[in-house]
A = this chain, B = another copy of it.
Amino acid sequence: MPLPDALRAELSDIPMLDDQRVVRMKSRDFFWFSPVLKQSLGDKRADLVIEPRDKADVMRIAAACARHRVPITIRGGGTGNYGQAVPLAGGVVLDMAKLDQMIWQKPGAGRFAAGARMLEIDRTLAPLAHELRFYPSTRQAATIGGFVAGGAAGAGSCTWGQISDPGAVLGVEVVTVEENPRAIELRGRDVLKVMHAYGVNGIITEVEVPLAPLHPWCERIAVFPSLSAAAKFAQNFTECDGIAKKLVTVHDPQVVPYLKRLSAYADSGEAMVIVMASEPQAEAFELLVADHGGRVTFRRSAADAQEAAYGGGTMPPIYEFTWNHTTLHAIRIEPTITYLQLRFPPVTNLELVDWVAKRFENEVLLHLEFQRRFGKVTCSSLPLVRYTTTERLNEIMAELDAKGVAVSNPHTYVLDNAGWKRVDAPQAEFKRLADPFGLMNPGKLKEWRTEAMLATA
């Protein structure tokens, strides 16, 4: 269905991108990490990209889409991995990049326009001695609105837990896709109505979060004789309440060679631990490394690490070798590689890590992200998988799940199967209110019916 000319005409003063190459690019995210999604999403694209300059623009675009019944897909940094930003039914992509202001900041909290990039937020906050508590490894491109809509954890989770934890997001403003759009403020627990909903139930325009007062985060790499030894160290280190830390990642010896730039910092067969810790406490980290039979092979000061994050120097910031950036590095070297999303339960996590490593040797290559979950330290993982077939992938997931390792399937674009309903909030009810015509990326929700659809069903 071609886009109605009237819609273009009504919004003609708002910046639009029509060039087909650009539209294609802005219709994609990192879904191609998955061979399954690559097949199903490879040819999906919008008809037009619109770039609102402010909230008034957002409301005009929402109104026009509602009136003309044009599908609308919200785009943050486009760093998602499940096709969150891929329009399944064409229409408009709403690129939030120009809504990037800091609205206010005070001790312990700040409010930002949804399109603000997380690295830029931190650059603004640094002179105020504050920072975001969390960021994904895609900090440079990811937006705060996109992170709330499609993220879950990241650097910072070893201290602060998950973004769905109580108090982790203070408020969001959401614009409805109606003929007369409303801006709705969701606060406290109501934030969960739109969290991890992939932007299909309202347009997030502002995000208010608690901020962390800034620590000087230095970077360290330590190596250990085995994955098991590295994981044990990482568990104990993360449990050191007295050492302020931002990141604790463990790479299996088989993962290290894929991290080209880092492979020089480990001998063959060694497991690697990547850490960002408060600089004055680096000594305590190093003592613990020695206790666990490891050795420190890389050290970068907090000042140099910050410089690297801002684009200075040749060695990227170390968090770009963690979380799902790992998959990116691996795919560049071995294009058939894909990944999974695992969550290990606390207490038995190290045991299960050993089990997975052994059971799926050479097929599932673990890297672990240590984090706090509800007051306990455990790890999650986005392991690399040497992909053969979809059937085998499903087999692996089923076996992991049966063993008690929680799997979130990243090989589906259908929200019902993955993110949706994992959050304990009436997301569907909120969608009825925020998107009464079912225009927000239709197709993402398999089970979704609008009121109108229900009436005629």
A375 touches B238 (CB 8 A): yes
Closest partner residue, chain B, to A107 (CB atom) = B216
Closest partner residue, chain B, to A240 (CB atom) = B166
A240-B165, A241-B374, A288-B166 known; A215+B280 contact, CB < 8 A: no
A239 touches B287 (CB 8 A): no
B167 touches A240 (CB 8 A): yes
Asked if A214 lies at the interface with its beta carbon under 8 angstroms from chain B, I say yes
Q: How many copies does the complex hold?
A: 2
Give complex CA distance A117, B130 in Å. 27
Interface size class of A (residues with CB under 8 A): 35 or more
Give which listed residue, B168, B188, B284, B377, contacts A167 with CB less than 8 A.
B284
User: Contacts of A108 on B, CB cut-off 8 Å?
Assistant: 215-216, 244, 278-281
Please report which residues of chain A, range 133-166, place their CB below 8 angstroms from some CB of chain B when the two chains form the complex: 133, 159-163, 165-166
User: Contacts of A163 on B, CB cut-off 8 Å?
Assistant: 242
Give complex CA distance A376, B163 in Å. 20
CB distance from A186 to the nearest CB of B (A): 12
A213 touches B214 (CB 8 A): yes
Mask, A236-269, CB within 8 Å of B = 1, is 0011111110000000000000000000000000
B167 touches A243 (CB 8 A): yes
A170 touches B239 (CB 8 A): no
Give which listed residue, B107, B166, B288, contacts A214 with CB less than 8 A.
B107
Give complex CA distance A109, B170 in Å. 29
A213 touches B210 (CB 8 A): no
A188 touches B287 (CB 8 A): yes
CB distance from A281 to the nearest CB of B (A): 4
User: Contacts of A284 on B, CB cut-off 8 Å?
Assistant: 166-167, 188
Other than the given A167-B240, A239-B375, A241-B372, 5 more pairs (CB < 8 A) read: A108-B280, A109-B280, A167-B283, A167-B284, A168-B242
Could you name 9 residue pairs across A and B whose Cβ atoms are closer than 8 Å?
A: A106-B280, A129-B213, A133-B242, A159-B241, A161-B240, A165-B241, A167-B243, A168-B242, A240-B375
